[in-house]
């Protein structure tokens, strides 16, 4: 089976799994990519919001593990309010972690759940 780029491989909603992946991401220096900054401008997102929300691991309700070109990435879904989520997209590499995208959505995080290899 060939994987499509950006195909979701697995989803995590379990607190223990979320904490393990969060620690993996923050264990290396986080580099914000050019694409990340382009998307902030395009979406009129405040970088201070990203910096403020990122360390709040208790707000992470879902993590997607996905194929991203030749790497594996993780999408963190932070619940900001009842119907607003912040999605941050990371790619962990050997010596650093790339922050490649940020998306503010006005819908509940549960709408992002798929029926696949989800760990509860």
What's residue 22's pLDDT? 98
Checking if the pLDDT of 30 tops 90, the result is yes
The pLDDT of residue 7 is: 83
Any idea where the domains of the chain sit in the sequence? 8-119
Cα–Cα dist 86/114, whole Å: 18
This prediction has a pTM of: 0.85
Query: What is the band of 37 on the pLDDT scale with cuts at 50, 70, 90?
Result: very high
Distance of alpha carbon 55 from alpha carbon 2, whole angstroms: 35
Q: What is the pLDDT of residue 108?
A: 54
Query: How confident is residue 40, by pLDDT bands cut at 50, 70 and 90?
Result: very high
Q: Which CATH number fits domain 8-119: 3.40.720, 3.30.450, 1.10.260, 3.30.2310?
A: 3.30.2310
What tokens were used for 105?
A: 């959505």
Mean of all residue pLDDT scores within the chain: 87
Do residues 11 and 62 make contact, with C-beta atoms less than 8 angstroms apart? yes
């Amino acid at each position: 089976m060939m994987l499509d780029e950006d195909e979701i491989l697995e989803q995590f909603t379990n607190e223990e799994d979320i904490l393990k992946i969060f620690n993996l991401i923050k264990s290396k220096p986080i580099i914000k990519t050019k694409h990340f900054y382009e998307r902030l401008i395009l979406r009129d997102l405040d970088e201070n919001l990203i910096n403020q929300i990122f360390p709040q691991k208790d707000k992470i309700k879902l993590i997607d593990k996905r194929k991203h070109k030749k790497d594996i990435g993780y999408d963190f879904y932070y619940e900001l309010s009842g119907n607003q989520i912040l999605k941050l997209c990371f790619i962990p590499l050997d010596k650093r972690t790339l922050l490649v995208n940020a998306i503010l959505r006005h819908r509940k995080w549960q709408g992002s759940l798929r029926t696949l290899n989800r760990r509860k």
